[in-house]
Amino acid sequence: MNFAYGVIIIVGVLAAGILGLIATSPDDIIQPRIIPIEQISVNSYIMPKTATVGDVLLIEVEFRDDDKNIVDHVNYDISVTQDGNTILSEPGSHRHPGKHPIHETTILDESPLEIQITLQGLGHGDDISEPKGIVTTMTVVPEPEVEPEVEPEPETLPMVTTISIPAGVGVPGYEETIECYLPYEVTVTAGATVTWSNDDSAVHTVTSGHPVSGIDELFDSGIFMSGDTFEFTFNDVGTFDYFCMVHPWMVGIVNVS
């Protein structure tokens, strides 16, 4: 008797469960949880942004997502045109981590360059995923070729020079209209010899120093006659004044460097 009651109870529980399922609305059934996948765009950064006429252009392409993080394993096409001509075309390029393709154009002229990058997806082989078809373009105007600076030739200073004592310098006031030693000032290199030629009819001297400060005894021709010459070799660097002891208005300078 107790066994029969037990069977009846079990059957009743099962029936109640079945009826409960039948009475439940389909909308009340728990659905699987769907986690949305964030979609990102990948932006191309073309480097460098300068070019020079007469050179080739080396191009590297870097890819970053919307948060500026570098993205690798990127498939892309790259092309460059100039004057309507394609000077670079490399479809099917791929950027690996730590292995960045460097694309090289032909030699450039002065016309603008049109660079285009077309994104062809992320990944390898059959596992290439979006995004695809994003196009990045950039125009670069080549800069003129920089001419190398040419250093001026160092000035060659004479080792021998001649200074004339012109006719008429013995007359007071002559120095107001013309130099009494021609040229009045010369520049020579160390070790050079300077020669003074008396082209006047009067006697003169070539004496180191100045009429105001006096003789410094570096050199002195003494009295030398018309048609005579006097020479002195300057071995030391400096500026050397000289004058004529007979006609003290006659002064000159020798620079030695």
Can you give the CATH number for the domain in which 231 is found? 2.60.40.420
The mean pLDDT value for 48-77 works out to 93
Q: Which tens digit of pLDDT belongs to each residue from 82-136?
A: 999 999 999 999 998 888 899 999 999 999 999 999 999 999 888 899 999 999 9
Pick the closest to residue 42 from 121, 100, 156, 138 (CA basis). Answer: 121
Count up the domains in the chain and report the number. Answer: 2
Q: Looking at residues 32-45, what average pLDDT do you find?
A: 62
What pLDDT, on a 0 to 100 scale, did the predictor assign at position 195? 96
Confidence of residue 179 (pLDDT cuts 50, 70, 90): confident
Q: Percentage of the chain surpassing pLDDT 70?
A: 85
The CATH number of residue 78's host domain is 2.60.40
Residue 102 lies in a domain: yes
Q: How far apart are CA 166 and CA 168, in angstroms?
A: 6
- pLDDT the model gives residue 18: 47
Asked if pLDDT for residue 3 goes beyond 70, the answer is no
Mark whether 110 and 174 lie in a shared domain.
no
Residue 76 placed within a domain: yes
- What pLDDT, on a 0 to 100 scale, did the predictor assign at position 39? 63
pLDDT at 31: 46
- Positive or negative, the CA dihedral 7, 8, 14, 15 is positive
Shared domain for 86 and 130, answered yes or no, is yes
Looking at the fold, whether 176 and 249 belong to one and the same domain comes out as yes
Same domain for 118 and 182, yes or no, is no
Q: Which residues contact 232 (CB under 8 A, 6 or more apart)?
A: 193, 194, 206, 219
Domain housing 60:
43-140
pLDDT tens per residue, range 189-201: 999 999 999 999 9
Is 231 domain-assigned?
yes
Neighbours of 124 (CB within 10 A): 11
Q: Is the pLDDT of residue 30 over 50?
A: no
Q: With 80 as the cut, is the pLDDT of residue 78 above it?
A: yes
Asked if residue 116 and residue 79 are part of one domain, the reply reads yes
Q: Where does the pLDDT of residue 253 fall: very low under 50, low under 70, confident under 90, or very high at 90 and above?
A: very high
Residues 248, 164 share a domain: yes
In a domain, 26, yes or no: no
Residue 240 falls inside a structural domain: yes
CA distance 171 to 157: 33
Tell me the mean pLDDT in the region 166-183. 84
Show which of 106, 140, 174 is a domain's final residue: 140
Q: Is residue 251 part of a domain?
A: yes
Mean pLDDT of the chain: 85
240 and 168 inside one domain: yes
Q: Is the same domain home to 135 and 190?
A: no
Residues in the chain: 257
